[in-house]
Structure 1
């Protein structure tokens, strides 16, 4: 029995690792003492929780050695229900970032590197004061881009602007500052703001240290930092995607700086060589590399991944694949095999308007005379953006049971409204066609009213998938009152 107890104790220690497990009592007592922590609310039977355990454990080990340490915590919601109810967790796993007992949702990927970067950017003051050369060396050893302010006077205009920028961008960058002369002598900077590129990203095409040389403006400094951080060619992730502006060229392959550095840098250097030519020529275009495993759905929208059971499936190629978007959001795919020469020509042709736009679209219907018109990507503007008519459009998926049951009701409503001269009823297969902005879908079916005089601001229908409530919505939102129905959706009386 004693040996069994010892074995159980060892297993418990192995299981716990560097992740802390808090009961209701421990959570209430200890959480307010943590300046910063991450909490996973889980259930032992949850398969996704089990699948994410290794990444969470690796992140916990890395953050345990951070300066200052950042704890990662787990709460078993089948046992410590009081805490879970308090923080409104009704599905598992749920991850929250806690600062002095106050919580915010963590919506990033549960990947060790992402968790570590996310939490490190939130730890301590927005800009850390460096007292020794050793402090700076440790700070710059990070795999993140680092901002460093060297100020002879911490209260001058530039230093104050820098601290405001650090506060605003602390979740995106690591910031530090110093007024120690020994540090300024060591690095050769005085009253300067420098961006340091991490060693793993350094290359022959751009400077590893970049100096801000504009005025003490928070807006200008922020814009400079965000642009310089992306450099000639940075990794585009789900977390930073909004930072990349069109025209944008994306090269997809197995990008992984942690586990696949050699291959990652091999292809990145070739992209950067091309990007440098465009920079030197003064041509405004951004380049990025992306992991094809992360961007499967996007590859599908460019026709580079097949959809099987509504899941994108991409077969990796020997060489990277390339897509692009221009300033008008038009999409392009490089059909030639990846090479520096082909990439350069592809980008030049896009910018010169010589490429054919890629459009995922079903064929335009030969006839379209039914009460419900069929829209595809290639006739979308003609049908939906017709300025002379209000348009009601249903985005559906062929495999969706709700769409299937709603289909006859939508047709019934279209029959009722087919004589309305200023209204068109439309449906579109969202899985087989590109859906233009500003339309979005998170489930099926999605129904929008597109007013004739305001095509850029469609109105989403959120009520029951039934004839009467949808008719009332259309009657209320139509630009001009319907001929056969009043604003409340009641049929008008006809004169005898």
Structure 2
């Protein structure tokens, strides 16, 4: 008994960090990191400092993700101010640093979202095989009946060269897309293919009569060609933009329709508006503008800051904006009509160049005849870029003492020239 008690207290002193874990996030330190990390097939570790503001902001999201991933992926954290040896060993130089470990070994940096939803979705893709083996029709239906799109390879046998290349692509792209494969060609026949192919199943929640739910890739299969095919087709005509995928969608000129969209709680209303958008924008595809729908509650601050739209604008009707890859912004000021005609007029005006860009600006001064003209964002192009003279511009802050000292000199110069 005495030996058992001594062993217990030895364990307490040897593994203090792990035993002090709170909630579902495992706390690790110099003494127990290697010992405990090897027990988990997949683990996401947050290396942090208690004083770090970004770490504090991440903490509640990380904790919520840990609860959602319980039993699937272990989340852990290391306080680098107390356990510098472990942090130094894994090359941690800034906070927070997130790394993915597999069976105790540093596998890859985590470069995914920093929200609970984003972390959960990203890490679920890190578990299991790179590509799921489908044996039956039931397996296929279960896999493609998912909230996210699915990529399924159909091959003639396990020795197929195309299957080998497909699995390499799945290993590289698993963080972005869901992959599965089968060696039973009959599963492909159900979707109109008779030979080796790759099928891209768009998300069932976004099914629409205005586009195909399944797209077939039958070209020469390489990692690059498959990546390009998925990138060009996975979103479809009008994807659901979220805070997690917005940067990928905004690499092109993008029109977004914002409304009370929620595919978890209210899929019927979510698709009611999206179908009205799809009916209109399907007539404008291929003209250099891409399209999306989004939940306006997820983007309220952005709508207000970037487009001057408040929560009271439009009521329950959708907002419509365009953001180009050059940063130009446009808003549809006309009320969104259920027949889609207002959206069509907005698009006609956009492509005809008749829309005025939205610019966040102070009001232009009523009088502006002094030698030094006052320029605001809305009048910048008219005063500076459309004239036949060169311009000297003073960018200043009213509170800046150096600016105050320079201002009379600048005015004197304007009077002289």
- Shorter-chain TM-score range: 0.7 to 0.9
SS of the residue 2:360 aligns to: coil
Note closer, same or farther for the CA distance 1:229–1:303 as it changes in structure 2 (3 Å cut).
same
- The match for 2:98 is 96
Write out aligned runs for 1:437-476 (5 A): none
Superposition deviation, residue 191 in structure 1:
0.6
Equivalent runs, 1:173-192 vs 2, <5 Å:
173-181=177-185, 183-184=187-188, 189=193, 190-192=195-197
Listed one character per residue, the Cα deviations across residues 379-402 of structure 1 (whole Å, up to 9, x for unaligned) are 158648999979787586x8xxxx
Q: In the alignment, which residue of structure 2 is the partner of 1:233?
A: 238
**For the structure 1 residues 390 and 81, does the alpha-carbon distance in structure 2 shift closer, same or farther, using more than 3 Å as the test?**
farther
Match of 1:250 in 2: 256
Match of 1:408 among 382, 401, 413: 401
Determine the structure 1 residue equivalent to 2:144. 140
TM-score (norm 2): 0.73
Distance 1:390 1:297, change over 3 A: farther
Alignment match of 1:212 (pick from 208, 217, 227): 217
Q: Does the CA-based 8 Å contact 2:169-2:223 persist in structure 1?
A: yes
Alignment of 1:261-340 (within 5 A): 261-279=267-285, 283-299=287-303, 300-305=305-310, 317-325=315-323, 329-339=327-337, 340=340
What is the SS of the residue equivalent to 2:330?
strand
1:142-161 aligned at under 5 Å gives the runs 142-152=146-156, 158-159=162-163
What is the rounded CA distance, in whole Å, between the counterparts of 1:49 and 1:252 in structure 2?
Answer: 27
Which deviates further from its counterpart, 354-363 or 45-54?
A: 45-54
Counterparts in 2 of 1:367-406, with a 5 A limit?
367=369, 369=371, 374=375, 376-380=377-381, 383=384, 394=395, 404=399
Whether contact under 8 Å (1:38, 1:72) holds in the other structure is yes
How many residues are paired up? 382
Name the SS for the 1:277 alignment partner.
coil
Matched, 1:72 2:75: yes
Q: CA RMSD in A?
A: 4.2
Q: Residues 302 and 28 from structure 1, CA distance in 2 versus in 1: closer, same or farther, beyond 3 angstroms?
A: same
Structure 2 Cα separation of the partners of residues 38 and 385 of structure 1 = 55
Q: Distance in 2 between matches of 1:328 and 1:50?
A: 34
Counterparts of 2:92 and 2:385 in 1: how far apart (Å)?
A: 41
Aligned-partner Cα distance in 1 for 2:412–2:170: 61
| Whole-angstrom distance in 2 between the partners of 1:326 and 1:265 | 25
The aligned residue for residue 69 of structure 2 is: 60
Higher RCO (C-alpha 8 Å, min separation 6): 2
Measure the CA separation in 1 of the matches of 2:301 and 2:63.
25
Q: 1:18-29 alignment to 2 at 5 Å? A: 18-29=24-35
TM, length-normalised to structure 1: 0.63
Structure 1 partner of 2:229:
224
Task: Report the CA distance shift for 1:349/1:70 in structure 2 as closer, same or farther (over 3 A).
Answer: same
Quote how far apart the aligned CAs of 1:320 are: 1.3
Contact 1:59 1:115 in 2 (8 A): no
- Secondary structure in 2 matching 1:319: coil
Q: How many Å separate the matches in 1 of 2:136 and 2:292?
A: 36
- Deviations for 1:310-335, whole angstroms, at most 9, x for unmatched residues? xxx77782111111245765422111
3-state DSSP class of the match of 2:69?
A: helix
The answer (yes or no) to whether the contact 1:246–1:329 under 8 Å persists in 2 is no
Whole-Å separation in 1 of the counterparts to 2:407 and 2:274 = 53
Matched, 1:120 2:124: yes
